[in-house]
Structure 1
Amino acid sequence: MKRLRRLTLVCLCLASGFAGAETPDLLLANVYEGDVELSHYWISEKLDGVRARWDGTHLISRGGNVFHAPTWFTRDFPDTPLDGELWMGRGTFEALSGTVRQERPDDTQWRRVKYMVFDLPSYPGTFDERLLAMRRLVVHSDSRYLDVIKQFKVDNAASLRTRLLDVVAAGGEGLMLHRADSTYRAGRSDDLLKLKLYRDAEATVIGYTEASG
């Protein structure tokens, strides 16, 4: 009970360190059920990070709170709105979460963080086009703390599963599938899908088989 009270107190303290902002309209993922044409999707690793929207000035959480990132961290970020995750690397979520939620940023810890971009919310084109634009923005920004999540294609469900197993074996969470011809639409849809091996609080795909016939 005492441990639970301490944990609750820590959570309240962390929450109080946030500055308020408007809740961002984000694209959210459905669970992959094996019923889509994989050639229509880009695939990337599902990072175990903290979702953040860059509005051109601040990094904002999914709940609408401003992260107190050091000025030097975002100095070379573009003015263009970005969607992505703050990330330290595989298996570092607890350290990351503690770092980005501090009201007074710890420069030493923030130097371990990168903002991994996976979409451009205000860009009018398809994801194919947005991916090219993301890569150009990151190159031109010349920021060591900004990067684009690697995207790749697979031919079939067997290749997808192989990629998933490789990521999990290396300590990753799973995969994300992003429909190539989709525009950025806030809310949950099959334009963005997630694939994991193990059940979590929302749902998961433990395995799948190709339909016969």
Structure 2
Amino acid sequence: MKQGVSINVLSAALLSASHVHAVETVSEQSYLPLLAMDYEQNETRNWSQFVYSEKLDGIRAYWTGERLVTRKGNEIHAPQWFVEVLPPFPVEGELWAGRGKFEHTLSVVMDDTPNELEWKTLRFMLFDAPNHQGNFSQRTQAIEQYLNAVPALLEKAHGHVALIPHFPAISDANIQAALSNLHAQGAEGIMLRNADEIYIQGRDVSLLKVKIAQDAEAEVIGYVEGKGKYTNMMGAIIVRMANGKTFKIGSGFSDKQRETPPSVGSKVTYRYNGYTKYGIPKFARFVRIDKTKQ
């Protein structure tokens, strides 16, 4: 009984009229997330204002306060025990099964009929409360306060909900050291957030992504036939970047993916290391198709 009272008091403190309105209307339209810009080494910023966290290789999800949806607003069919512990106010985070397990996460999340056992392999790693009016530090504090108020619920739900840890960025050198350390452990990269900024919809410098290699998306517009051991399979896909430039991606595919390649018109994520003098990504290799973004 005491736990129920604490949850209600906390809910009243954290939910304003605008929060309630957002919960009521989010089913009618997709929310507009804060999107990251690329970090450039040695750029001049006041890094004392920033905190960093590991960049998780999962699927970004938004809890409206009532429903779990993708960044495009499509419903995610999670088990009741998975969502009943979530707060009565909107939060967003990453559905994550661990490093290098994106394909597994995608298969679990995209299933219209939730597999109870498979969902127990996922965690919802929270990183923001979009409708909260405070800065990033205040927003994560609101999430932390809620989670601290419901320990019994968290235990019942297999501890699958947590707040992503954040650490002071301090300096460019410290950021590079953190990146190297996490990369050595198999992490995808790190995210930098300005702790003093309010939540801004769209792409903004208050959120930066840092990676050893860079990722981008491009549209599939055609194929190149395979040769040798890839005869009768796809040898490479031809893709078009947002700026209209086209190039081929021929590595990073499994044999199964070569037999049934990404369809024309789909968007693929690829990884690369800088650009040629002609503006074409160097060493481009296929990473994945994120069906939640199609």
TM-score tier after normalising by the smaller chain length: 0.7 to 0.9
| Aligned equivalent of 1:190, options 181, 184, 205 | 205
Q: Secondary structure at the match of 1:138?
A: helix
CA distance in 1, matches of 2:126, 2:144: 9
Matching of residue 104 in structure 1 with residue 119 in structure 2: no
Q: Percent of pairs identical after alignment?
A: 37
Q: Structure 2 unaligned segments of length 5 or more: list them.
A: 1-26, 218-270, 275-294
1:181 alignment partner AA:
D
**What residue in structure 1 maps to residue 174 of structure 2?**
159
Q: Secondary structure at the match of 1:53?
A: strand
Change in Cα spacing, 1:145 to 1:200, as seen in structure 2 (3 Å) is same
Q: CA RMSD in A?
A: 1.7
CA distance in 1, matches of 2:201, 2:99: 27
Equivalent pair of 1:196/1:205 in contact (CA under 8 Å)? no
**What residue in structure 2 maps to residue 6 of structure 1?**
none
Q: Secondary structure at the match of 1:128?
A: helix
CA distance in 2, matches of 1:126, 1:191: 11
CA distance in 2, matches of 1:93, 1:164: 20
Larger radius of gyration: 2
CA distance in 1, matches of 2:54, 2:123: 15
- State how many pairs are aligned: 187
CA distance in 2, matches of 1:121, 1:105: 26
2:108 alignment partner AA:
T
Q: Which has the higher contact order (CA 8 A, sep 6+)?
A: 1
Change in Cα spacing, 1:205 to 1:58, as seen in structure 2 (3 Å) is farther
CA distance in 2, matches of 1:173, 1:59: 25
1:23 alignment partner AA:
S
**What residue in structure 1 maps to residue 65 of structure 2?**
56
Equivalent pair of 2:129/2:143 in contact (CA under 8 Å)? yes
**What residue in structure 1 maps to residue 87 of structure 2?**
78
Q: Which moved more, 1:93-102 or 1:196-205?
A: 196-205
Q: After superposition, give the CA deviation of every residue in 1:58-107 in whole Å (9 maximum; x if it has no partner).
A: 11101110100001111111111001110111111110100010001111
**What residue in structure 1 maps to residue 215 of structure 2?**
200
CA distance in 1, matches of 2:150, 2:126: 13
TM-score normalized by the length of structure 2? 0.61
**What residue in structure 2 maps to residue 30 of structure 1?**
37
Alignment of 1:80-159 (within 5 A): 80-142=89-151, 143=154, 144-159=159-174
Change in Cα spacing, 1:136 to 1:47, as seen in structure 2 (3 Å) is same
| Aligned equivalent of 1:176, options 191, 208, 211 | 191
Shift in Å at residue 204 of structure 1? 7.8
Q: Which moved more, 1:131-140 or 1:95-104?
A: 131-140
